[in-house]
Amino acid sequence: MRDITLLSVPFGLGAGRAGSELGPAKLVGELDLAGSLRRHGLRIGDEKEIAVASLLKAMPPDAAGYAGKASGMKHAAEVLSVSRALAAEGAAAAAAGHFPLFIGGDHSMAIGSVAGLTARYEQMGIIWFDAHADLNTETTSFTGNMHGISLAAAIGLTTLSLKDVYRAAKPIALERAVLLGARDLDPAEERFIQQSGLTYFSKTDIGRLGIEETTRRALQIACKDADGLHLSFDIDSVDPGEAPGTGTPVPGGISILEVRLALRIIGSSALLSSADFVELNPLLDQGERTSKLMHSLIAELLLAHSS
């Protein structure tokens, strides 16, 4: 496989609870993600950390303009500034022929990763693993948390346009977007899914079809006429009994066994070109249970991709 560019995003202001900003320090720092990927024979071409603190100090005026338009959304300007930096890094890594691997951070960061990647992969497909739909907009969100609008932003539904994040960005076509594992949807999100026809595999669908068949169908849809595939993986898709270290846990998630199988199948797709791993919250973890799980899931995906 291509060289990996490991991009750490220590940013958690898109979530309602503090702690997801500590994900990279845990995974990339303490658990030495790069070292263990290298020991598995994978090549890390580049390693970078988004300089969140300095970005937040020098906020561009038009970010405040967006925050004004998105009133009610919390830290909207901060999310936009960080997304811009991360879009630029992701776009550069993809243009250099690398596999961008984004380590979060809360799920609002997918606004940045997707914006940058769509500049390189104009027909990109996306598979979104999550307990939630992240299909709110600035007007439908009940919580005001930016991580709840990130999939909507990726497919062009929000006031925040991907082009404001990265000039050459382009929203992902609805036909190539797949939501998998969600089980806590807000009413507007349910309505959107019903009306738009966005592909959604609920827990019931997974139970009925089995995870293997579900993942194969998800791949088929996301890869149709695609030139790249992005996996946006929220650890809260996994059952909180097995992955407690996350800020918005929802019971009834997929099992570790299921998620491993799914990631192996997605990893084996030649079209897979980038991934986010988000919403690990080390402050809420039981020991390092969730951190270690996330660590091994990343390896699982990339090893399947390299073989």
Ligand X SMILES: NC(=[NH2+])NCCC[C@H](N)C(=O)O
Task: Kindly write out the interface string for residues 78-117 of this chain, putting x where it contacts ligand X by CB under 6 A and - elsewhere.
Answer: -----------------------------x----------
Instruction: Report if residue 130 touches ligand X, rule: CB under 6 A.
Output: yes
Tokens of 292: 């270690």
Amino acid at 175: E
Q: Which of residues 39-78 bind ligand X (CB under 6 A)?
A: none
d(CA 274, CA 84): 17
Stretch binding ligand X (CB under 6 A), from 133-141, 155-163, 269-277, 291-299: 133-141
Q: Which of 104, 148, 244, 253 binds ligand X (CB under 6 A)?
A: 148
Q: How far is the CB of 250 from ligand X (least distance, A)?
A: 9
Cβ proximity to ligand X, 130 vs 258, nearer residue: 130
Instruction: Report if residue 291 touches ligand X, rule: CB under 6 A.
Output: no
Instruction: Name the residue with the smallest CB distance to ligand X.
Output: 148
d(CA 80, CA 267): 30
Element (H, E) at 120: helix 109-120
224: alpha, beta or left, given left = phi > 0 and alpha = psi -120 to 50? beta
Instruction: Report if residue 279 touches ligand X, rule: CB under 6 A.
Output: yes
Query: Dihedral of CA 285/290/294/299: which sign?
Result: positive
Q: Which of 145, 214, 215, 291 binds ligand X (CB under 6 A)?
A: 145
d(CA 162, CA 155): 9
Contact indicator for 154, 100 with CB cutoff of 8 Å: no
Cβ proximity to ligand X, 164 vs 236, nearer residue: 236
Q: Residue 43: CA atoms inside 13 Å, Cβ hemisphere, count?
A: 9
Please report, as ranges, the residues that interact with ligand X according to CB under 6 A.
Answer: 107, 130, 132, 134, 136, 141, 143, 145, 147-148, 186, 234, 236, 248, 279
